Amino acid sequence: MQVIEKIKKYNFDIKHLAILFTILISFEIVMFFIFKNALSYFVVSTQEWYQEYSSSRIANYTANSFEMLIETLRLDEEITATERNKMIQKFDILLNQQLIEKDIEEICLFIMVNGKYKIIDSGEILFRVLIEKNKDIPPPLYDHSEAKKYFKTTKDKLFSTESNQTIISEDQTFFSFIPFVPDGELIGVMYVRSFPNFNAITNEFIYNYDAIALVFSILILTGLFFMYLISSNTVNKHDKVQKELFLQKNEHLTEKLNHEKEFVFTRRIYHAHHKAEKIIGFINSDLKEIKGNTETVNRITKYSRFIGRIIYDMKWYEPQLSTIRNPIFNTNVNEVIKFLVDNLFMRLSIKTNVFQIKTQFDANFPIVHVNEFVIWEIIEPLIQNSIYHNSEIDVTIIIKTEYNDDKKESIISIEDDGKGISEEMLIETNGTKRIFLENISSKIGHDQNFGYGCFIAHNMTQKCGWKLDVENLSLGGCKFKITIKH
């Protein structure tokens, strides 16, 4: 009674129920025929594939048996009459035993004799040709006109690729040609004609599916009827639960967003700390030479300022744009790159031949109104990328600056002759190549602290109003290119 009252609450009458069940039954019928056709197609396709596989496998097996039998025969010893008869008998067995199979209809060998391909279907003739090297071959025992016809159509492809070839006729007869290579030398072709038939299994499979589908259709329709009655009782509760779930999900997303911001900020601190630790080591080394050495003092000053820039970046999740580019900054890009190469990458306690860096500076490269330490943050990870990803080979890195007065355009390029970048890292996502996305790295066994340098370089070039791109070179290696419009 309660169920009836709930149904009345939703104003369903006999017409609505009739329409609903008509739609459901129609849907079931349509789905039944769709699945039946799909199953029939699958079974027939599987049958055709297995027929071809079975035919090719039998032909391959027969050819391999001949090859192994010939390879085990010691041709450097004299063959007695008894051994000769045994070998001929074995050849005849291999040629005839496959015909006992109900699916095999014809089998023979095409052997090159006197510049022409001859058909052999007798163990006696095969022994004379392969073992005794007799060139006088009588006609075959049976008519193989169909084999000759298909052999002519596949001969060129068969011998050019030295791979199995199978032709399927309209009546599902399979003509298989297998290269015959005893002792690794291609001297002929094994031919097998077969007609594998699995229609009985296919029909039985489809018949059983029809019976099972009918039972399942009845059960599904019955289940849908009772589910309809039960669902009307749970609609209100479902709405309440959905609202609560929405609120919980909203809270979860807010919490997750805050967590991700904190996580990103933590990684920025880690990345900055790693750089600062390296620079501090250089400062400690230079302090020992500070006595009256102006060049050393200037170098320490730059190191210290870079540390100050890093600390500033650690303070702010999004640094102010005016601290990145500003008319008060007048930076010589050539000098920044030269300082990085001489005092960061080539400053090693032990000289190495693993990598070398060459520079080609354009003296007309204009001054840019960008903080020099921001340029440092862009150039350094790109050079480091070329070094790290080519650590197993000797690599040459070439850094160029170019200025085109006609286009009012400057180019900074960093290229190497190493292994290049994997193609998957060059796939674009929303207009940005994968290598420039956050937390993306091709380093094997990388952890969460990798995949950040190229991301920072790309992010900083955007804030400078520049464009950063990367491509693989045709002769090997890759090239990072920074474009500056003036």
| Average pLDDT score over residue span 152-174 | 81
Give the helix ranges, DSSP H, for 288-332: 294-315
Residue 216 has pLDDT above 70, yes or no: yes
Q: For residues 189-228, b (16+ Cβ closer than 10 Å) or e, as one string?
A: bbbbbbebebeeeeeebeeeeeeebeeeeeeeeeebeeee
Question: Residue 117, exposed/middle/buried by CB under 10 A (0-12, 13-18, 19+)?
Answer: middle
- 349 falls in which pLDDT band (50, 70, 90)? very low
pLDDT digits (tens, 9 = 90+) for 61-112: 777 777 777 766 655 566 777 777 777 777 777 776 665 566 677 888 888 8
Mean pLDDT of the chain: 78
Cα–Cα distance for residue pair 445/453, rounded to 1 Å: 17
Q: Dig out the tokens for 444 from the structure.
A: 């094997």
DSSP string, 235-288: HHHHHHHHHHHHHHHHHHHHHHHHHHHHHHHHHHHHHHHHHHHHHHHHHHHHHT
d(CA 226, CA 218): 13
The pLDDT, as a whole number, for residue 274 is: 65
* Selected residue with higher pLDDT from 170 and 328: 328
The pLDDT of residue 139: 82
Three-state SS at 398: strand
Share of the chain above pLDDT 90, in %: 17
Element (H, E) at 467: strand 467-472
d(C-alpha 357, C-alpha 459), whole Å: 25
pLDDT of residue 198: 63
- Topology (CATH) of 24-197: Beta-Lactamase (3.30.450)
How many whole angstroms separate alpha carbon 460 and alpha carbon 366?
A: 19
3-state helix, strand, coil in the chain (%, to 5): 55, 15, 25
The SS3 of residue 384 is helix
Mean pLDDT of 307-323: 71
Query: Which residues does 371 contact at the CB level (< 8 Å), separation at least 6?
Result: 309, 323, 324, 325, 326, 329, 331
Specify the range with the lowest mean pLDDT, choosing from 171-180, 229-238, 331-340, 351-360. Answer: 229-238
Bridge partners (DSSP) of residue 110 are 119, 189
Would you state the torsion angle of the CA atoms of residues 77, 79, 80, 81, taken in this order, to the nearest 10 degrees?
-170
pLDDT in tens, 362-417: 999 999 999 998 998 899 999 988 888 887 788 999 999 999 999 999 999 999 99
- Which residue would you say has higher pLDDT here, 102 or 37? 37
- Residue 44 CA to residue 50 CA, distance in Å, equals 10
- Average pLDDT for 148-159: 84
Task: For tokens 């290598």, name the residue.
Answer: 435
**Residue 361 reports pLDDT greater than 90:** yes
- The full set of domain ranges for the chain reads 24-197, 319-485
DSSP letter at 474 equals: T
pLDDT band at 317 (very low <50, low <70, confident <90, very high): low
Q: What is the pLDDT of residue 367?
A: 94
pLDDT of 184 higher than 50: yes
**Antiparallel, parallel or unpaired: β 355-360 and 395-404:** parallel
pLDDT band at 10 (very low <50, low <70, confident <90, very high): very low
pLDDT > 80? residue 280: no
> CA 151, CA 310: separation in Å to the nearest integer?
76
Q: Residues 171, 193, 201, 220: is their CA dihedral positive or negative?
A: negative
Number of H helices, E strands in the chain: 10, 12
Residue 328 is predicted with a pLDDT of 92
The answer to whether residues 94 and 70 touch, using CB atoms and an 8 Å cutoff, is no
The C-alpha atoms of residue 401 and residue 409 are separated, in whole angstroms, by: 11
Q: Are strands 467-472 and 428-429 parallel, antiparallel or unpaired?
A: unpaired
191 pLDDT above the threshold of 50: yes
**Three state DSSP letters for 325-383:** ECCCCCECHHHHHHHHHHHHHCCCCCCCCCEEEEEECCCCCCCECECHHHHHHHHHHHH
Long-range contacts of 266-271 (CB under 8 A, 24+ apart): 267/448, 267/449, 267/452, 268/313, 268/314, 268/317, 269/314, 270/449, 271/449, 271/452, 271/453, 271/456
Tokens of 92: 């005849």
Is residue 160 within 8 A of residue 181, CB to CB? The reply is no
| pTM recorded for the entire structure | 0.43
Give the count of beta carbons closer than 10 Å to the beta carbon of residue 447.
8
pLDDT score, position 30 = 78
Class of domain 319-485: alpha beta
Which residue is associated with the tokens 């589910």?
227
